[in-house]
């Protein structure tokens, strides 16, 4: 046996006798990475939000203060927060509604080749560039775009015009309306809702549905009292993605939609051109707090009881 092999064997013998050392060797590097890069950056961000900016000099004042958080409550900033939270909620709700039948079909009925088709169909859009997808949508939704053309060909332009005339959701064309922003968000984040939902639906044993039916429940009642409660962890997992991704995004509302800003755009501008890093940090803390509150409520309501 070679010398090198002897050393290798002796080391592996030693590690076998001291499994804790092996565990430490395996865990320390990723924990350092997680601790320093992830959590460290997060705490740096949190710290920034407690500083303030001197309005005359534009320099950062390093005294701890809640003044920056106070600024979030100004009408203009409050608008941004509420608009973003509303958009995230609507996108999440719509994603859950659209995902459920697709995920249910994939979990219950798709077998073999059709399962592969399902995974490809859901994942394929994730493989192409995010920017390409968003710009494609801008073209689809534009006044000269395919959607308008379709409505015109079907002589249904009046429906689209009537819809675009609704204040708030409408606008000159879909590509410069909140509806447009919503549609693009929905499209881009949908896979992140479908996949966890499908995983949670797949874990429900078929005998559970038979038992419900056997005990007198019609399909609708089985859906309400058995399938939905058991799929709830998956829905929550998916909504964490769709909710937080929508809250933090600054590219989609930039390209498709109105000029009114969302949190991501505000952070981008305050830390860039405006040089107001404390306010940018305070804005960035909002999604974290919202997610925390959301998950606490979900846990209180028993969303994770079936885990």
Partner 1 sequence: MTLAVSFQAVSRHFGQVRAVDNVSIDIAEGEFFAMLGPSGSGKTTCLRLIAGFERPTSGQVRIFDKDISQTPPYRRPVNTVFQDYALFPHLNVRDNVAYGLKIAGAGKAERHTAADKALNMVALPQMGSRKASELSGGQRQRVALARALVNKPRVLLLDEPLGALDLKLREQMQSELKSLQRQLGITFVFVTHDQGEALSMADRVAVFNEGRIQQVGTPKDIYDSPKTPFVADFVGSSNVLPANVVERLTGKLKTASLRPESVRLSQGGVDGKVLSSAFLGATTRLEIAIEGAVISALLTKDVEVPKQGETVSLVWDADALHMMDADT
Residue ranges in contact with partner 1 by CB under 8 A:
205, 207-208, 210-218, 221, 225-226, 229-230, 302, 305-306
Q: In the bound complex, what is the minimum distance in angstroms from residue 236's beta carbon to partner 1?
A: 13
Q: In the bound complex, what is the minimum distance in angstroms from residue 113's beta carbon to partner 1?
A: 17
Residue 76: how many other CB atoms lie within 10 Å: 9
What tokens were used for 258?
């109105």
Specify the residue, 200 or 242, whose C-beta has the smaller distance to partner 1.
200
What tokens were used for 306?
């079936």
Q: DSSP assignment of 217-259, as one string?
A: --HHHHIIIIIHHHHHHHHHHHHHHHHHHHHH--SHHHHSS-S
How many Å separate Cα 197 from the centre of its chain?
14
Specify the residue, 71 or 202, whose C-beta has the smaller distance to partner 1.
202
Apex 229 CA angle, 225 and 233, nearest 5: 170
Q: In the bound complex, what is the minimum distance in angstroms from residue 13's beta carbon to partner 1?
A: 40
Specify the residue, 152 or 305, whose C-beta has the smaller distance to partner 1.
305
Euclidean distance between CA atoms 283 and 72, whole angstroms: 7
Specify the residue, 130 or 304, whose C-beta has the smaller distance to partner 1.
304
What tokens were used for 240?
């964490």
Specify the residue, 90 or 208, whose C-beta has the smaller distance to partner 1.
208
Q: In the bound complex, what is the minimum distance in angstroms from residue 224's beta carbon to partner 1?
A: 10
Euclidean distance between CA atoms 192 and 91, whole angstroms: 12
Q: In the bound complex, what is the minimum distance in angstroms from residue 230's beta carbon to partner 1?
A: 6
Specify the residue, 38 or 225, whose C-beta has the smaller distance to partner 1.
225
Q: In the bound complex, what is the minimum distance in angstroms from residue 96's beta carbon to partner 1?
A: 18
Which sign does the torsion angle of CA 235, 241, 247, 253 carry? negative
């Amino acid at each position: 046996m070679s010398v090198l092999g002897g050393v290798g064997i002796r080391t592996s013998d030693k590690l076998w006798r001291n499994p804790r050392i092996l565990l430490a060797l395996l865990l320390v590097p990723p924990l350092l990475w997680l601790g320093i890069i992830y959590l460290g950056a997060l705490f740096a961000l949190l710290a920034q939000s407690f500083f303030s900016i001197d309005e005359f000099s534009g320099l950062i004042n390093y005294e701890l203060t809640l003044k920056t958080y106070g600024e979030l409550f100004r009408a203009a900033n409050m608008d941004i927060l509420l608009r973003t939270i509303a958009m995230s909620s609507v996108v999440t709700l719509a994603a859950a509604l659209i995902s459920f039948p697709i995920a249910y079909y994939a979990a219950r009925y798709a077998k073999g080749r059709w399962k592969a088709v399902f995974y490809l169909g859901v994942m394929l859009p994730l493989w192409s560039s995010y920017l390409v997808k968003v710009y494609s949508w801008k073209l689809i939704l534009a006044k000269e775009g395919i959607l308008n053309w379709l409505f015109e060909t079907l002589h249904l332009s009046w429906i689209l015009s009537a819809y675009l005339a609704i204040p708030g959701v409408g606008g000159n064309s879909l590509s410069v309306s909140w509806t447009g922003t919503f549609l693009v968000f929905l499209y881009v984040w949908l896979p992140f809702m479908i996949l966890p939902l499908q995983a949670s639906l797949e874990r429900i044993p078929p005998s559970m549905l038979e038992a419900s039916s056997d005990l007198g429940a019609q399909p609708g009642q089985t859906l309400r009292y058995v399938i939905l409660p058991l799929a709830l962890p998956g829905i929550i997992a998916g909504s964490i993605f769709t909710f937080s991704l929508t809250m933090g995004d600054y590219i989609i509302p930039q390209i498709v939609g109105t000029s009114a800003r969302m949190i991501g755009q505000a952070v981008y501008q305050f830390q860039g051109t405006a040089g107001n890093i404390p306010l940018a940090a305070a804005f960035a803390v909002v999604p974290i707090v919202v997610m925390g509150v959301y998950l606490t409520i979900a846990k209180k309501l028993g969303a994770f009881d079936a885990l």
